[in-house]
Chains A and B, each alone.
Chain A
């Protein structure tokens, strides 16, 4: 009973976007000897799923959705090391992995943050490199985590060029086939994405999630 109540509190903490509460509950779960995978799958994931549903039905707006994603992230910060300790994570490839960042020379990250938050909220494993990220860092991280997607954001017409440069670098170094490359940002269009040979473009964060799902062949 106490265990079920704890799990349902975890779910609520994510639905309500309470990051520190989610973290406290995650710690309590570990100290009570619950399996980290149980805590995630039966405690926190139902919460993020419910938040996603509330978004879909139009009850949740971005502040609620992003808060839920933040709560999920806070809980995972506690649970990730536990998972690694138990070794349960190693072959688990069920969550698609995304490396995301704003390209070199560009410090705008609001759009990218939204995409990262929404992807995380929808069950993607998101590695956010922040803003002003050079091509080497994108590639190194993507290789390191075995990314499925690399998301390149740019707000300026000039820094947009960094998206093309990254794709050229990938091809030159023979890594192009490994990742799906997604581009986004205010000046970016579907035409630009196809001109530079990217795999996809989404106009906003919500569309980015659907795009990733589509490209994964609904694997999520």
Chain B
């Protein structure tokens, strides 16, 4: 008689005790009530005023009362489910689910030769999106590159356009300009079949960053309001830098982070109660020597993991910029920082983990790194599946069958389980030394470059239906013309 199988424990790491979390939340709410938050958006100020909050008219400072924060926390959903472009496959963003996506809005790309960085162009965006579409451990795509061959004023709309054309994965995106929201929403709605369908089955998350300390700008407020009204999930990206734009202690930065995100959540819920909000962030440990914001610092990751705990206590979905590096090329530092970040994010149960492919302080994307990072994400997922109780008893009977030569290799049990128990890397080197020499002494980055080339040659993303394609192009063309872009780069190339 075999006993019931024991459940696998979900591996988990927590940095804060319950009383610590409670104090962070309490101080954040006190901060909003006593010090207030700057809101540079008339529409948002009007909503706050109507909700009975004290507004210091001259400066736009709002003192948010505890009751309103608590009321808004009650209406904000604890999860949101995203759907792919076809509306079929769904991804639950909540609980301890983990979804990796590429780091967003890089202004440079590391050349395939790995030698220099340059401004990305349309062809790079297309390659980036198609690669993301193919990589199995990236559940979402992101508008990860800012294209240099379209006017800056329409670059936000354009990167979403390329993303929707070349991948079916849900998108993490955001606006650079207030005017860009309408065409971006229209594209998403066109692909989904209307705004109502889009609200029911969200296809995109919009990032909105407050300006530390304690400020929501006109642009980012507007993004919150627009998204809420369309029931598009807003991802709140508070980004204090310890000792520069937020307190130097990790705990102090956590308080500010929580306060800024709660203020954003209040604005979202006032615009439309029940609108989905993801408690995210991109804070960093500020390097007091270099004046830089290392995303690969252990302290940065500790702040991320801690605010995720705060968000979970508030029953909100979570996001963080983790699994990225400040290295300038695909070297040991790139793998080290990305590996630590991805695994820690997974152990912290962060729902949306943005960062894959990213280097140089969130400013540079690398296709080769994206491929390497996908493998790292795969390892993190393996870790999360934990140690399984496959059979009962676990091992004793196996020894009877193999008693003569204890050869497990030919045992049926091995063949039955090895693929589920073990993973096989595409890129990590497991060759013998001689085999590695015979294959050309390639580094991880070399092998990644080979894999990228192969994927881009072979992978064919699912195409949009013709009417969807046409609608998308019309919206993009109109938005482009307003900014002096008379024909789209892809069309120009096709004409040549």
Contacts and interface: CB of A to CB of B under 8 A. Distances in A.
A191 interface: yes
A108 B289 contact: no
A211 interface: no
Given A157-B105, A189-B107, 13 more contacts: A61-B288, A62-B288, A62-B289, A107-B215, A108-B211, A156-B176, A157-B107, A158-B152, A187-B146, A189-B117, A191-B119, A204-B290, A205-B291
A63 B243 contact: yes
Interface in A113-127: 114
A201 to B, nearest CB: 13
19 contacts: A58-B289, A61-B289, A107-B211, A107-B215, A110-B244, A114-B244, A114-B291, A157-B146, A161-B152, A161-B153, A186-B361, A186-B363, A187-B146, A189-B107, A189-B108, A192-B119, A204-B291, A206-B290, A206-B291
A127 B403 CA distance: 84
A206 B243 CA distance: 18
A24 B148 CA distance: 53
A76 interface: no
A79 interface: no
A191 B364 CA distance: 14
Nearest to A206: B291
Nearest to B177: A158
Contact of A160 (B108, B152, B241): B152
Interface of A: 58, 61-63, 107-108, 110-111, 114, 156-158, 160-161, 186-187, 189, 191-192, 204-206
Contacts of A63: 243, 288
Contacts of B215: 107
Nearest to A192: B119
Nearest to B180: A158
B53 interface: no
A156 B118 CA distance: 18
Nearest to A205: B291
B122 to A, nearest CB: 16
Nearest to B362: A186
A206 B496 CA distance: 46
Given A108-B211, A157-B152, A189-B119, A62 B176 contact: no
A192 B363 CA distance: 14
Given A61-B288, A63-B243, A107-B215, A187 B363 contact: yes
Contacts of B155: 157
Contacts of A110: 241, 244-245
Nearest to B108: A189
Q: Could you tell me the dominant secondary structure of chain A's interface residues?
A: loop
A205 B245 CA distance: 16
A31 B327 CA distance: 55
B389 to A, nearest CB: 49
Contact of B176 (A58, A107, A157): A157
Contacts of B288: 61-63
Interface residues of B, number: 27
A158 B175 CA distance: 10
Contacts of B211: 107-108
A190 to B, nearest CB: 10
Contacts of A114: 244, 291
Contacts of B361: 186
Nearest to B363: A186
Nearest to B248: A63
Contacts of B292: 204
Nearest to B146: A157
Contacts of B291: 62, 111, 114, 204-206
Contacts of A186: 361, 363
Nearest to B243: A63
Interface string B207-222: 0000100010100000
A111 B292 CA distance: 9
Contacts of B119: 189, 191-192
B372 to A, nearest CB: 24
Q: Interface centre among B105, B245, B288, B292, by most A CB within 10 Å?
A: B288
Interface in B123-178: 146, 152-153, 155, 176-177
B208 to A, nearest CB: 13
Nearest to B151: A161
B324 to A, nearest CB: 15
Contacts of B107: 157, 187, 189
Contacts of B117: 189
Contacts of B177: 158
Contacts of B241: 110
B485 to A, nearest CB: 14
Interface in B83-112: 105, 107-108
Contacts of A107: 40, 211, 215, 217
A107 B209 CA distance: 12
Contacts of A160: 152
B150 to A, nearest CB: 12
Nearest to A208: B291
A157 B145 CA distance: 11
A104 to B, nearest CB: 12
A149 B263 CA distance: 39
A192 B288 CA distance: 27
B452 to A, nearest CB: 24
B222 to A, nearest CB: 13
